[in-house]
Amino acid sequence: MAWYLYDQNMSGGYYFEPAFAVLVEADNPEEANRRAETVGIYFNGVEEGEDCECCGDRWIEQSRPLVDSKVAKFISSLKKISEEDDYRIEKTVSVLDKSGDFTLYEAEDPYEVFALYP
């Protein structure tokens, strides 16, 4: 199993849920892309009329995993979000709850919310 990172392009000047970036654990890129779609990530947003043409697609399909040491360093830099966090975080958690098993984290910047899907 390997980790695949889906980080958003800020198409249209804003970010979408489920999180600023999503890490998906999978056996191969095709499985990772399928799992990513089950939690609200979509691909070909410009072509489908979902994303801004001048900004480009919000999400990009992955073709290779992150290097394991990079993932470990990235995950260790995050802190787990508590249930007492602000409305934006609670709203994100409620959306993610529909998707099954996950752990939600935030980085130092409160707008950088990450979801891990092992």
Cβ(21)–Cβ(112) under 8 Å?
Answer: yes
Tell me, rounded to whole angstroms, the distance of Cα 66 from its chain centroid. Answer: 14
User: How high is the pLDDT of residue 78?
Assistant: 56
* Residue with token string 């990530």: 41
Give the global pTM: 0.65
Cβ(85)–Cβ(114) under 8 Å?
Answer: no
Amino acid at 63: S
Strand partners, 7: 21
Cβ(19)–Cβ(92) under 8 Å?
Answer: yes
Residues 6+ apart with CB under 8 A from 31: none
Mean pLDDT per block of 10 residues along the chain (118 residues) reads 83 75 86 88 94 92 78 59 45 41 54 57
Alpha-carbon dihedral sign for residues 86, 70, 38, 40: positive
